[in-house]
Amino acid sequence: MKYKRILLKLSGEALMGNKHFGIDNERLAQYALQIKEASDMGVQVAVVIGGGNIFRGIQAEEGGMDRVHGDYMGMLATVINSMALQSSLEKINVETRLQSAIKMEQICEPFIRRKAVRHLEKHRVVIFGAGTGNPYFTTDTAATLRAIEIEADVILKGTRVDGIYTADPEKDKTATKYDTITFSEVYEKGLEIMDMTAFTLCNENKLPIIIFDMNKPGNLKKIIEGTPVGTLVEF
Ligand code: GTP
């Protein structure tokens, strides 16, 4: 097993599957199964999910809503997705704990770093909801921050594409995939992997990133086994 503790970042949009809004139960169950497979291998798993399938703060601002207000609504959307994933994991007997950056004590624990680490040591999947609890930060930044706080070995960003390409593969047919790339190359080439705040936080704290296709069953397990999947951003 290559990693002992991972932080898996899932996008809210990916949870929609082929729907236009909300949560696709099949996709959700498929993600839960992949997480169970990983957890059964003995790796400690923490998860951060976005909320874009329910609400996007930035789009709300374009529609005239106050940005900060929209961002808080987006954070609540991540809690809904986190609860859905929690339920889906528990249905297949994976022990979980949900911690929120915004206190909602009736439905989940507050974020307490030391408690989160304890849960991971007891082999519970820990889901972090409500982003960083602050507006103007993305869930990628929340995922990075939590990964650093819990001292994860790597951040695994599950996306629709299977890695980082020389150009946008949906627009440019000649684009090729990188198996590995360094942080400085990403800066030099101006590639967009995650927002710059999140990316810089990973760079400054020596946290490697793997970008991979989470919609392909088995990929998560392969990464944990050490099989190269997707693109590894390293130092
Ligand atoms: P250990 O006893 O340390 O192994 O961890 P534990 O999570 O089992 O203990 P705890 O007694 O803290 O939690 C028992 C259950 O209550 C778990 O399902 C927690 O997620 C849940 N829980 C703990 N704190 C809160 C809270 O503030 N709000 C909510 N809604 N649930 C909580």
Indicate the Cα dihedral angle 99, 100, 106, 112, nearest 10°: 60
Q: pLDDT digit string (tens) for 10-23?
A: 999 999 998 999 99
Amino acid at site 35: I
Q: pLDDT digit string (tens) for 146-162?
A: 999 999 999 999 988 89
Residues within a 6 A CB radius of ligand 1: 97, 105-110, 118, 122
Residue nearest to atom 25 of ligand 1 (CA): 109
pTM of the full predicted structure? 0.95
Average pLDDT over residues 180-187: 96
Q: pLDDT digit string (tens) for 22-52?
A: 999 999 999 999 999 999 999 999 999 999 9
For residues 187 and 233, what is the distance between their CA atoms, to the nearest angstrom?
11
What domains appear along the chain, each with residue ranges and CATH number? 5-234 (3.40.1160.10)
Q: Which residues pair with 44 in a beta bridge?
A: 5
Ligand 1 centre distance from Cα of residue 149 (Å): 20
For residues 183 and 232, what is the distance between their CA atoms, to the nearest angstrom?
10
Q: pLDDT digit string (tens) for 64-86?
A: 899 999 999 999 999 999 999 99
pLDDT tier at 94 (50, 70, 90 boundaries)? very high
